[in-house]
Structures are given as structure tokens and as C-alpha cells.
């Protein structure tokens, strides 16, 4: 499996082509350590992608071990970086990227 460029080194993206289009089951998965996030097609059950409506409709925050190292891997992998790493007043360091559908992903680690 090819590792997704905008996820931690323990993450990978899987494609499940056995699901019929229109199925309510995920058609892909993102693994973050032992956790799995199901991905549904934007058109399923009336869902619309950020790109299709011209606005960010949601954001997803993912905890990573080292924001700067993750950012460097993301840049090297060609990710669409929206925000470079920044220290936030609420105690995290994060960077942001968007996927091809316009979904925002935040990659965060605690400060200090």
C-alpha cells in the first residue's frame, strides 16, 4: 500500500473497490496508528465535497508525533499545504493541508 503523503508515518490510505457506487459503506480508509477512518464518496446520501460547494464544509484534526517532521514529509510528498507549521495559543503546533476535494486536514502535536 502507498502511504498517504498528508498523514503520519503510521498512516496509510486504502482503497476498497469491492463496494458498489451508491453504497453507504466506506469506499476507502485512512489508518492512523490503530485507528481507521472510513471515507465515503462525496455524492453518497446527498453528501457534497467542499470543492463542489465552493466552501470548506468541515475540518479534521489528526494528532501526530512531530508537526514539523510531518510537515516536511507532506511537502516532499506533494501535499497541498494551506498553512505552514504555527504555534497556537491553545497549546498545539499545527499545519494544514487540503485534499483534492477541498477537505481541510490539520496535523497537530502538543507544544513543549
Average pLDDT, the chain: 76
- Residue 9: the pLDDT is 38
Report all structural domains of the chain as residue ranges with CATH numbers, in order of start.
Answer: 12-110 (3.10.180.10)
Q: Within 10 Å of residue 6's Cβ, how many Cβ atoms?
A: 26
Residue with cell 459503506: 25
Kindly indicate the confidence band of residue 39, based on its pLDDT and cuts at 50, 70 and 90: confident
Residue 52 and residue 92: Cα distance in Å, rounded?
Answer: 31
Residue 30 and residue 92: Cα distance in Å, rounded?
Answer: 23
Nearest residue to 57 via CA among 108, 110, 104, 106 = 104
Kindly indicate the confidence band of residue 65, based on its pLDDT and cuts at 50, 70 and 90: very high
Please answer whether residues 29 and 39 qualify as being in contact, where contact means their C-beta atoms are separated by less than 8 angstroms. yes
Residue 58 and residue 2: Cα distance in Å, rounded?
Answer: 25
- Residue 36: the pLDDT is 83
Q: How much is the pTM? A: 0.63
Amino acid at each position: 500500500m502507498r502511504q498517504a503523503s498528508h498523514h503520519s508515518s503510521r498512516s496509510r490510505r486504502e482503497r476498497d473497490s469491492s463496494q458498489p457506487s451508491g453504497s453507504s459503506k466506506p469506499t476507502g480508509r485512512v489508518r492512523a496508528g490503530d485507528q481507521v477512518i472510513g471515507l465515503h464518496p462525496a455524492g453518497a446520501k446527498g453528501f457534497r465535497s467542499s470543492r463542489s460547494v465552493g466552501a470548506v464544509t468541515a475540518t479534521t484534526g489528526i494528532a501526530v508525533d512531530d508537526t514539523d517532521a510531518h510537515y516536511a514529509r507532506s511537502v516532499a510528498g506533494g501535499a497541498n499545504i494551506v498553512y505552514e507549521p504555527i504555534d497556537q495559543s491553545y497549546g498545539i503546533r499545527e499545519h494544514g493541508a487540503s485534499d483534492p476535494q477541498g477537505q481541510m486536514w490539520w496535523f497537530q502535536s502538543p507544544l513543549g
